[in-house]
Chains A and B, each alone.
Chain A
Amino acid sequence: MIAAVKGWHAVLAAVWILVPARAWAADDVAGAARELAAKTALFTGAGATISASYRNLSSLGPVQLEQARAGYEAALRQMGMRLGDGGTVEAQISLSENGSQYLLIADLRKGDDRQVAMVEIARWKGGPGAKPTDSAAWIERKVVWEQEEQVLDAAFPGDAMVLLAPSGVGIYAKHGEQWELRQVLSISSSRPWPRDLRGHLSFQGATFRAFLPGVTCGGATEPEPRMECHAGEYPWSVESAGGAGMSAYFAPGRNYFDGRLSIENPAIHNGPPFYSAAATGDPRQPVWLLALVNGKAQVVDGGFNVLAEIPGWGSDVASIETRCGKGNQVLATQPSDAGDTDAVQSYIWKDRSMAAATPAAIFPGPVTALWARGGSAVAVARDLETGKYVVYVLTVACGL
């Protein structure tokens, strides 16, 4: 039977098998190459000798071009074509791309006849892995997660990882070295989230509160994940290292705290609006550092007396407990723009000024969240290369 299928019949039989009935994109380069070979066969006719050349105009690598070549030539041979120099048909094969697809294109010439055939290849997802940590840095960065959706905060209660994202709270369990999603608890808002959305997680054991502008959620990760959300204006817990606690009101529809805050007591103080706050110095009598909306950082004592003003810091600060020196340190981002890389540096309150305690640790994009977690801090950076949000756990390795 097979021997009887010759010439045009062979070509048509192959085309029948290799060209999908519907015109959608091939899943991979090899599949696209087979499909392109079938289209080539329709142009050349049976038994043609084809001189093929290849070039890569896409961002794909030589491996994919080689896959295309091997797949194309194997399929042509399968259809009874010959490949070699001086063939009657010239095929210039290009691996190209546009904004949504890769394209495998055959520019076919037989004498004065010219035909162009092309096959689309679906763009696959997945970028390069997380950047390696900078082992020379005094601030140690450990990449724990990365994803497409923005991460607003992350916490690690018990053996779990909890991520706060605009769409909800994700609870992850560790299996071996991998975090696996256990459950997503959705959050919705009646109003659009602000641009530069911010959010914060506050944990006590397995119970948590998730703060977002205009929405506060309460829930638990154990025994079964659960969460309930309420619209309204509630003060956020802006935790700090060493047990000092601050509550502050977040301005609805904005990206900053409106200036109303309380420290360790219910009386509300009205101060200037700020982006973030951190305690530093002696944990029994901490001073507070507020990253103000006007671009300056202000150091205040427990009575909100201004002790110092520091220009040139970024918008996010967080306390971190360390074993180096006395008291807690403050991690601070640097002033930068949305398209820039960023850096976090650790400072200590000393002689009524903030002194740098570590060199700056560089991040592959802007740090979009920085929250205290006791002996560590969580930083989220948007990797400028991949566009993904990378979650880091930061600790200060003091070299002692």
Chain B
Amino acid sequence: MCSRWLAVYSLLALAGLPLAQAATRPRYGGVLRVEIRENIESVDPPDSGTGLADLMGAFSITRWEAGLRATYAADNNAPGGRPFVDAVEVRMGRPLRDQSIDLEVGKADVIELGAGESRRGAAGRKIWMSAPVRIVALVFGPRVEDARIREGLALAVDRTAILNVLLQRQGEISGALLPQWISGYAFLFQPAADLGRARTLIAAAPPGARNLSLGVEDGGLRAMADRVALNARDAGLTVTTAPQGNAGDVRLVDAQVASSDPARALAGIAAALGLIVPARMENAEAVYNAERAVLEGFRVVPLFHLPDVYGAGPRVRGAAGISPLGQWKFGNVWLEGDRP
């Protein structure tokens, strides 16, 4: 499992270095048109995280319209050499369906793909898939004090059905925060599904504790939240999905792994999920112990590790435009048909 990812991404691991390109040499010029779902409303363009911030270094921002669009121009003195494209134009707030249409009709070069879309390949379309870098988890708020409720819900979720149906087998079931390819020990946290035990645990809890609201931060996870609520009901919990923007007693969250270093990756996920891990974790065993401590008590219940998936249009050429961590590496791609 781990070796598969490592094999697929062994070349991408060199993504920080300028790789020599192909027998058809890259061409310079053109504007790479990218679409994303996220509305980034900040006053300034983001300088950290995955996505737009990854462009800095190879490109510099020339236009920023918060929540709408951003334009980045190639930097002639970029480390690793000037990117092949002249500019990257990013349109924000584009629903996945609209992105797909734009790619199809040639209005976009790079789009995000939802679960299952990578299997519907259009002619000439490329798929860029990262390693599993997004953790989807349930995070309980302080109101859910009864550990039996938390463990009961963890045991009730039918991860296999969600992976097969909603995620179209794109991703991995996991009981760990860090994916196996990063930690090497994720297999030690085997997720258990045991509806019988879930019912027993929940039945033993006071009736008042058996009503929960489930908050969903990302609209893309709403179908999964509905499924979790359904599984919970089978185990004796009454779970209602909270309206968008409402935190809920338990949240279904999606956090990005930002480093391939296990200690840094765990610290990053912990920070994103509001968990506490030791500031220093010197070796793999220390990282494992920190992760185990966080998972004990079922305050956070990992469900899946998902990849970032992008579709690239037929005129996009060159090496994959994303790293194993899903970082944008658009300096390495070039556009067919544009001339210097």
Residues of A with Cβ closer than 8 Å to B?
Answer: 23, 57-59, 94, 96-103, 105, 107, 116-118, 120, 150, 191-197, 251, 253-256, 273, 275, 293-295, 314-316, 333-340, 342, 366-369, 382, 384, 387, 389
Closest 7 CB pairs of A and B: A98-B184, A59-B3, A315-B25, A195-B81, A333-B23, A368-B20, A314-B23
Question: Is B41 part of the binding interface, using a Cβ–Cβ cutoff of 8 Å?
Answer: no
CA A42 to CA B332, docked complex, whole Å: 51
CA A343 to CA B318, docked complex, whole Å: 17
Please state if B20 and A382 are interface contacts (CB–CB under 8 Å).
yes
Max chain A Cβ within 10 angstroms of own Cβ: one of B10, B27, B79, B180: B27
Q: Mark B13-32, 1 if CB is under 8 A from A, else 0.
A: 11000111111111110000
Question: Is B80 part of the binding interface, using a Cβ–Cβ cutoff of 8 Å?
Answer: yes
Tell me which residues across on chain B come within 8 A of A150, comparing CB atoms: 20
Please state if A339 and B24 are interface contacts (CB–CB under 8 Å).
no
Question: Is B247 part of the binding interface, using a Cβ–Cβ cutoff of 8 Å?
Answer: no
CA A366 to CA B319, docked complex, whole Å: 11
CA A75 to CA B51, docked complex, whole Å: 49
**Cβ of A158 to closest chain B Cβ, rounded Å:** 28
Please state if B187 and A195 are interface contacts (CB–CB under 8 Å).
no
Chain B residues touching A, range: 35 or more
Question: Given A194-B82, A195-B80, does the pair A337, B181 have CB atoms closer than 8 Å?
Answer: no
CA A275 to CA B340, docked complex, whole Å: 12
CA A270 to CA B60, docked complex, whole Å: 33
Please state if B2 and A58 are interface contacts (CB–CB under 8 Å).
yes
Please state if B81 and A197 are interface contacts (CB–CB under 8 Å).
yes
Q: Which of B73-93 contact A (CB under 8 A)?
A: 76-84
Tell me which residues across on chain B come within 8 A of A57, comparing CB atoms: 1-3, 180, 187
Tell me which residues across on chain B come within 8 A of A256, comparing CB atoms: 25, 340
**Cβ of A230 to closest chain B Cβ, rounded Å:** 20
Q: Mark B260-277, 1 if CB is under 8 A from A, else 0.
A: 111000000000000000
Contact among A118, A366, A369 with B288 in the assembled complex (CB-CB below 8 Å):
A118
Question: Is B66 part of the binding interface, using a Cβ–Cβ cutoff of 8 Å?
Answer: no
Please state if A366 and B284 are interface contacts (CB–CB under 8 Å).
no
Question: Given A193-B18, A197-B81, A254-B340, does the pair A96, B25 have CB atoms closer than 8 Å?
Answer: no
Please state if A98 and B181 are interface contacts (CB–CB under 8 Å).
yes
Contact among B6, B13, B80 with A97 in the assembled complex (CB-CB below 8 Å):
B6
Question: Is B317 part of the binding interface, using a Cβ–Cβ cutoff of 8 Å?
Answer: yes
Please state if A293 and B27 are interface contacts (CB–CB under 8 Å).
yes
